[in-house]
Structure 1
């Protein structure tokens, strides 16, 4: 059996031209889904974000207290009037192709990021200009004071404002850079990258880490492994067996019903990742029938039950999930129960009445049933009968997460490669702040997938960005939640606190809502 597991779990890695002689010099990871791109600006896919952090760096980074700290930046001078930010790059920054990192590269990278990211778009709306004044200096000139400039530059989650060469940053954000070049502690080995199989990184010998100790995304990033492999293993049970057998080192998510696999095991353990808790969502496409009708979207809210999804995915592991309909994360600073009745109380008859009122004609709801992430697999299995009971016609297309993560960008009709709904999860650092929560932008064609459109939400977000008191911000957040649940940019499905699986001979794993693999090393 052990040999069978080894053959299955490492089949992807064996497609690579060569393996290092010493296995202990290689860190092997199994992420949620395939790494089919390594451009974290072209997608908000967390699998891509997690892998990309190995090879990219940022000007600023969030420490464990969620404060922005200089990373590629040596520091920043802020003018007395709060309008001018002069950022100096630290010495020794080099891209993986051997070229030096310049301020012009940083400017081009930020401009690309700012064209698609919600917080980036807000930052650029406050700017009069951003320019490189010499190779190590860039200057941001604001039109009005805005206190979140460094927070934006240090954004920890999707889209992450990574720095790449200016030539690559000239690629439209809607197009993925095919062989991206970073400046982080590990470099991509493009000739060994096989989408659907394995992506390989190797230690970048010319990387100069900061002197400070690591603190979440900030501080010194020490590459202890010569090589890192992200191996695509679609079957989770196979991946867990490979972890226990010592054939891989880390699994992004261990389903609740598989935690028992670790009983009596001393080679690996499952650890509840409380900091990386996700608020699970059913995302709704406002462009395609039947959900182009707001009454049908509200019928969807009434058709589903958080309890059924949470039980299907987590069973009786109540310490691993929380029923919640707060747009800005339960237990967060802007948590509220405003306008949550339709979300928290399932009522199939009321859903059917709304469908009748809308004149629903039986247009099928197409479900892209993701099977290679266990939680998603369970959620889709529960969703179909709930929708049918409420009066929806449902069609199912089996899929994997990488395909859905690509297809969700399409604004085409379903028959031409578009979509109706899909499941995803955003974490605390993404959702708890109205400036980074993608569901409250109301930005229409420029909004996140689903393209929910609301001038009122856009104005509320602008007001939040300049609000001076916490009382003002709380009132604005409550109004944003009320409008968001009426607009139905998504249906909240509770919060989950998944477990990661990790080999017990590793130390230095960083507590963070985003998995980082620098500073991680093997011990005897």
Structure 2
């Protein structure tokens, strides 16, 4: 593969050429040691800092660095205590007691108290699917002393620790009560956590750079790091997130040593990076599910027949080939719970899915499609989503639909999709997005599957039958019964169509051979435990 760009032109906009030149020489001959700074190109730009009001994954990655959680899941998805020292649940499953470990403190030096935990989880519970379920059956939830929380339920909830250890969607990050008292619909503009890294607000340049510095007061757990569980050891003093959206610029910067880690490298550049000695590693075993999200409030997708039409139109193989061009990292998957997850199922998958354009056209006509332009939110800054949107546009045109692609970056799309107005008045018809396989692997955690109308994720599906089945899931006891209910939920989802899966992928991360300690964490990327060795000249 030949590359002929001017590296200095490409990288100077991010302040990297100076970093690179300065790292080579100081005072004419002395190399600068940059081993205490980890430079990362994350998959998206950070435009929000509130871990509760948004479901955007980059915000959760930010919060995982800056905040801590009562529990964290290990590599096998088993919840393990994190901020909690000891905990217990009564034999009848109704009374939970959590006692915080010693030495927890926020970044301003104030101690983390049980009152902060109660306030934080109440705010989280107002937005999260698990949280809403738990608080709907909560009798009392209180701090009984400075380090102990007592949670009394009206009925047992089988996913309590699963909920408190989640890493996607609104996350149960612990923050000071003064911030947690902010309504869950009002975004926070201050970051105050107790995690291993501090957010440096004065060095944040939206659209360009985010800076984190080690929280020297943080006391990691004694256990070895294991997924989101165990000790969170901040081995580098500074982490910089650099918003390099051009895929070629990012891989060139990685290959030349200006940056250390690319979270989402473009697949076409992976062979070149491997030849250059960069490490290519799949750190998320469940991968990612792509999806089309339709706006259920407005024609034609207020009619389930129009939504069902997309099942017959969307050929996952076409999307995945265009998006990635590498069958080794993609997978055709029609399960709403992802392939490879414990609940993965083929129940309800209709014959002819992805291969019947005539049926798609007939269903769209039956739904009353009248030729109006279909407004598609088109994120152009993430290359594979840009391509997927173009593929969708052509597919819709092939069955006689009029398409209006409205270009924007992913952050702007995330804001735009909350607009419930008619598409011709600033709303939308379809948006493409993707969710970590870990987050969609069960009916409650799968936020796009929720069908509770105004409380649902943007798109606002409203199907009381589907939602009732989802709400029953935490109370089913045996694995066999859970799988049976998951099958029924998927059958209903193929009738109601909250969204349309477009395939599953497993894009690896790429990083410098100077790095060690990169962890495998389902559903997210973490940057603690990473150590950066000296540069070799």
Aligned partner of 1:410 in structure 2 is 419
Q: State the Cα distance separating 1:418 from its structure 2 match.
A: 2.2
Aligned partner of residue 53 in structure 1, secondary structure: helix
Are the aligned partners of 1:440 and 1:480 in contact in 2 as well (CA < 8 Å)? no
5+ long unaligned stretches in structure 1: 15-20
Aligned partner of 1:177 in structure 2 is 188
464-473 vs 377-386, greater mean Cα deviation: 464-473
How does the TM-score come out when normalised to structure 2? 0.92
Is 1:393 the equivalent of 2:402?
A: yes
Question: Given the superposition, is the C-alpha separation of residues 138 and 343 from structure 1 closer, same or farther in structure 2, using an over 3 Å criterion?
Answer: farther
Mapping 1:78-477, distance limit 5 Å: 78-266=89-277, 268-315=278-325, 317-341=326-350, 344-477=353-486
Question: Given the superposition, is the C-alpha separation of residues 12 and 234 from structure 1 closer, same or farther in structure 2, using an over 3 Å criterion?
Answer: farther
Question: Given the superposition, is the C-alpha separation of residues 453 and 495 from structure 1 closer, same or farther in structure 2, using an over 3 Å criterion?
Answer: same
CA distance in 2, matches of 1:58, 1:106: 9
Are the aligned partners of 2:45 and 2:243 in contact in 1 as well (CA < 8 Å)? yes
Question: Given the superposition, is the C-alpha separation of residues 417 and 198 from structure 1 closer, same or farther in structure 2, using an over 3 Å criterion?
Answer: farther
Q: State the Cα distance separating 1:335 from its structure 2 match.
A: 2.0
Are the aligned partners of 2:313 and 2:354 in contact in 1 as well (CA < 8 Å)? no
Aligned partner of residue 320 in structure 2, secondary structure: helix
Question: Given the superposition, is the C-alpha separation of residues 467 and 384 from structure 1 closer, same or farther in structure 2, using an over 3 Å criterion?
Answer: same
Q: Deviations over 1:8-67 (max 9, x none)?
A: 3436999xxxxxx75321111111221011212111101111122110110111112211
Question: Given the superposition, is the C-alpha separation of residues 61 and 143 from structure 1 closer, same or farther in structure 2, using an over 3 Å criterion?
Answer: same
Q: Deviations over 1:324-358 (max 9, x none)?
A: 11111123222222222267333222122122222
5+ long unaligned stretches in structure 2: 1-5, 20-31
CA distance in 1, matches of 2:526, 2:465: 38
Aligned partner of residue 147 in structure 1, secondary structure: coil
Aligned partner of residue 285 in structure 2, secondary structure: helix
Are the aligned partners of 1:283 and 1:489 in contact in 2 as well (CA < 8 Å)? yes
Aligned partner of 2:60 in structure 1 is 49
CA distance in 1, matches of 2:106, 2:423: 41
Q: CA RMSD of the aligned region, Å? A: 1.8
Q: Deviations over 1:335-394 (max 9, x none)?
A: 222222267333222122122222211121112221211210110121111001112210
CA distance in 1, matches of 2:7, 2:286: 32
Are the aligned partners of 1:256 and 1:313 in contact in 2 as well (CA < 8 Å)? no
**Alignment length (residue pairs):** 516
164-173 vs 345-354, greater mean Cα deviation: 345-354
CA distance in 1, matches of 2:281, 2:415: 30
Aligned partner of residue 77 in structure 1, secondary structure: strand
CA distance in 2, matches of 1:179, 1:417: 30
356-365 vs 236-245, greater mean Cα deviation: 356-365
Aligned partner of residue 360 in structure 1, secondary structure: coil
Runs of at least 4 residues off by over 4 Å: 11-14
Aligned partner of 1:17 in structure 2 is none
